[in-house]
């Protein structure tokens, strides 16, 4: 075994014993490569991290006058020097007022630009000078591997610009969004994520954004070493649409699924998307696709979508997942079941209809 004098710890103890004063030590000489990397990542990325607070107007019980009541806080990421900031949808949900505090302490009112509850992503905007806005560097979440180091920066419990370090614990997780749709390909990490970290960056060792922290699994409400982040590749695909349109432009088949679909699937013992009706003069209608009809005996089942582009469709979530992979104008193969027959349609996807 090597002598302690020849080890790193031995050198530290020797330096401490021989130094005339603490000021005489060069502490930077004792930083490990990993510590140096942590410091560099924090210096590079922290100016891109903001603190978000939101409030709601509530009518006073006594005076009936509206009062501004704080709802909570979270974290955001500067997306561009035009003032666009990415955060979680649940951070700004139902807020009447949103304030953003930059790393230099300056505060700005923010306006909502685009919301995507099913992915728990929101884009807000502030009117701040460009020289105060440091956009985050975007990475590629497809390059992540289990065991890779990741860094989280956020504002847990109101403690601003807090950094934690961990690894990628797992990939390809699924979590429920507020709309009960599944968010897919979620990153699991053991970097400590607590309330207030929501909407903050998950970074790789190059200081690049690889995920947006969104949730924790915790029986106690604090970090239990299981945190989740939406992969940056998902975020990159939807943020431009949120900025341009205010919502994600998921293409449609020009059909309306039946409401309370889970109930009817169980009642009728079928899997797939039950079509309530097919829009008049649409391509599916011209091709003969049918929704529910009535006769003297009651409701007659029409087409049930069971496959799109080779992917088995069990419910509406599956159908939306396939639609999100395409653009309006794409032609997709749709397989349905009707009257114990299998039918196939080639359908051109359309822009979503205005509400």
Identify the structural domains of the chain with CATH numbers, from first to last.
4-45 (no CATH), 48-132 (2.40.10.10), 141-245 (2.40.10.10), 255-348 (2.30.42.10)
Is the Cβ–Cβ distance between 196 and 75 less than 8 Å? yes
According to DSSP H, which parts of the chain are helical?
A: 8-18, 33-45, 89-92, 232-245, 261-268, 283-287, 316-323
**Active site amino acids:** 90, 120, 198
Q: CA 195, CA 212: separation in Å to the nearest integer?
A: 14
Q: CA 211, CA 213: separation in Å to the nearest integer?
A: 6
* pTM of the complete model: 0.78
DSSP string, 244-276: HHSS----B-SEEEPSSHHHHHHHHT--SEEEE
Is the Cβ–Cβ distance between 144 and 172 less than 8 Å? no
Per-residue pLDDT of the chain (355 residues; tens, 9 = 90+): 444 445 555 555 555 555 545 555 555 666 678 889 999 999 999 999 999 988 765 555 554 545 444 466 889 999 999 999 999 998 998 878 899 999 999 999 999 999 999 999 999 999 999 999 999 999 999 999 999 999 999 887 767 788 999 999 999 999 888 888 889 899 999 998 877 888 999 999 999 999 999 876 655 555 567 889 999 999 999 999 999 999 888 899 999 998 888 999 998 999 999 999 999 999 999 999 999 988 887 888 999 999 999 999 999 989 998 998 888 899 999 999 999 899 999 999 998 866 5
Is the Cβ–Cβ distance between 154 and 200 less than 8 Å? yes
Give residue for tokens 């080639």. 346
**3-class state of residue 283 by DSSP:** helix
Contact residues for 297 (Cβ-Cβ < 8 A; gap 6+): none
270 alpha-carbon distance from chain centroid? 32
């Amino acid at each position: 075994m090597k002598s302690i004098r020849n080890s790193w710890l031995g050198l530290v103890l020797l330096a401490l014993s021989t130094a005339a004063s603490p000021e005489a030590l060069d502490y930077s000489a004792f930083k490990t490569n990993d510590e140096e990397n942590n410091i560099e990542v924090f210096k590079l990325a922290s100016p891109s991290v903001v603190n978000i607070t939101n409030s709601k107007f509530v009518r006073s019980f006594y005076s009936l006058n509206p009062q501004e009541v704080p709802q909570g806080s979270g974290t955001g990421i500067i997306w561009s020097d035009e003032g666009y900031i990415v955060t979680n949808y649940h951070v700004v949900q139902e807020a009447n007022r949103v304030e953003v505090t930059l790393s230099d302490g300056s505060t700005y009112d923010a306006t909502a630009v685009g919301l995507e509850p099913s992915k728990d992503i929101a884009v807000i905007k502030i009117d701040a000078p460009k020289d105060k806005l440091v956009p985050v560097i975007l990475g590629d979440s497809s390059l992540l591997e289990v065991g890779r180091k990741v860094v989280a920066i956020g504002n847990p419990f109101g403690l601003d610009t807090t950094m934690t370090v961990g690894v990628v614990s797992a990939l390809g997780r699924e979590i429920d969004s507020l709309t009960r749709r599944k968010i897919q390909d979620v990153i699991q990490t053991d970097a400590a994520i607590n309330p207030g970290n929501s909407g903050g960056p998950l970074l790789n060792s190059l200081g690049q954004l690889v995920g947006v922290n969104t949730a924790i699994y915790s029986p106690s409400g604090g970090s239990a070493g299981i945190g989740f982040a939406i992969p940056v590749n998902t975020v990159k695909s939807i943020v431009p649409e949120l900025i341009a349109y205010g919502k994600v432009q998921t293409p449609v088949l020009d059909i309306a699924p039946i409401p309370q679909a889970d109930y009817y699937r169980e009642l009728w013992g079928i899997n797939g998307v039950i079509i309530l009706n097919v829009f008049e003069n649409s391509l599916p209608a011209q091709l003969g696709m049918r929704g529910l009809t009535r006769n003297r005996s009651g409701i007659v089942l029409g087409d049930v979508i069971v496959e799109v582009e080779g992917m088995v469709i069990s419910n509406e979530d599956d159908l939306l997942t396939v639609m999100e992979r395409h653009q309006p104008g794409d032609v997709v193969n749709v397989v349905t079941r009707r009257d114990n027959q299998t039918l196939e349609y080639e359908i051109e996807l359309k822009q979503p209809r205005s509400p």
